[in-house]
Amino acid sequence: MVENRRPWDEGQRLALLESYQILDTPREQDFDDLARIASEVCGTPIAVVNLVATSRQWFKAEVGLGVRETPIETSFCGHAILTSDFMMVPDATKDERFDCNPLVTGEPGLRFYAGALLKTPNGVPIGTMCVLDYQPRRLDEHQINTLKLLARQAMTQIELRKSLADKEEALRQHQLAAEQQRVLAFELKHRMKNTLTMVQAIANQTLRAGVSVDEARTTFASRLAALSKAQDILTQTSWTRASIRDVVQGALAAHGGDGARFSISGPDVDLSARCGLGLMLALHELATNAAKYGALSNSVGRIHVWWEVDASTPAPEFSLVWAESGGPPVVEPDRKGFGSTIIERFLASYFRGTALLSFAATGAILKLQAPLDALVNED
């Protein structure tokens, strides 16, 4: 583009042009009609609704050219947008700005140009409504005024086009937000139902355990705290998925899960809300029992939690192990309490796999195995 002093910033001008999202769009009848009227009123074989971009001028509508763009280096309109409102070149061979232009000295042998600016509401030019001829000529006052009016009408069409696109996008975003709100409401209802069911199961099993009221209250409060911790982690991701590492560390936080007595390792894996809640409660029960009877009941015992993904099979498998060491010898309890029920029945169901709890001399061992895709499946 020809360098000159501009009352506007070129970067701002190009950004405004891009904001209309009109470059490289298909032809539209409204713009074609304006170009045709300009050609007829001005009596020229060529008329163009032209937009001046960085390295090219692009034609939203054209009569008599047969192309949709030309390089900016040979552009008449690149000069026109540097004027205040209108530019006319009666004979390009006698104008020092264009007498060496290849479109003038060679094919197609242009001689005449007149262009009225397309200006944004804040006065920044983005193109022209222009007419061209192979013969020298001048426009009369009526033709000049008409060309300016057509330029204003073309700019009005561009503004209306942008306004319609903005409204359609706003409507699309509104519809998307409404759909997201509907899905969120459904998900929250589903989560609340599942959470209440889980709370009810915790309450029933805790109170049936045959322990004192005070002990039952303590146990119930502890289990609710674990459930709440899991919900806090899930809330951070809008109840969609949670990192397994966050779930494991959250379940063990009350027992110093980030300390030297805990070894936690495994790859980055996401869990669904269902699996996250189940695993959090299961690990909470294991940690609570370890603090009472197992590796956390003395000063030297340790807890090891690790998980792996085996991708060598057609259907990748996930496995997780909880293992205690260094604690007092443990024996398998005579009956299974709610903690064991959570660990073996609920956990296996949630992960669509198997959960086996065993008791070695070194402490409790949990082995969970499941299809990898079950970890993020909410069904």
pLDDT digits (tens, 9 = 90+) for 265-294: 999 998 887 788 788 878 877 887 888 888
The two beta strands, 317-325 and 302-310, are antiparallel
Q: CA of 277: how far to CAs of 98, 282, 346, in Å? A: 75, 9, 10
CA atoms of 294 and 74, how far apart (whole Å): 85
Domains of the chain: 10-169 (3.30.450.40), 208-376 (3.30.565.10)
SS3 state at 355: strand
CA atoms of 134 and 157, how far apart (whole Å): 29
Distance of CA 190 to the CA centre of its chain: 25
CA atoms of 370 and 372, how far apart (whole Å): 6
> What confidence score (pLDDT) does residue 4 get?
47
Q: What angle do CA 378, 284, 244 make, to 5 degrees?
A: 45
SS3 state at 53: coil
Mean pLDDT of 315-324: 94
Residue 206: band (very low, low, confident or very high) from pLDDT cuts 50, 70, 90? low
245 vs 230, higher pLDDT: 245
Which residues 6+ apart lie within 8 Å of 92 measured at CB? 76, 98, 99, 101, 104, 110, 111, 112, 113
pLDDT at residue 140 tops 60: yes
Residue 223: band (very low, low, confident or very high) from pLDDT cuts 50, 70, 90? low
> What confidence score (pLDDT) does residue 362 get?
82
SS3 state at 88: strand
Mean pLDDT of 142-163: 90
CA atoms of 162 and 20, how far apart (whole Å): 6
> What confidence score (pLDDT) does residue 237 get?
47
Model pTM score: 0.48
Q: CA of 151: how far to CAs of 31, 32, 157, 174, in Å? A: 10, 13, 10, 34
**Tally of residues, the chain:** 379
> What confidence score (pLDDT) does residue 316 get?
93
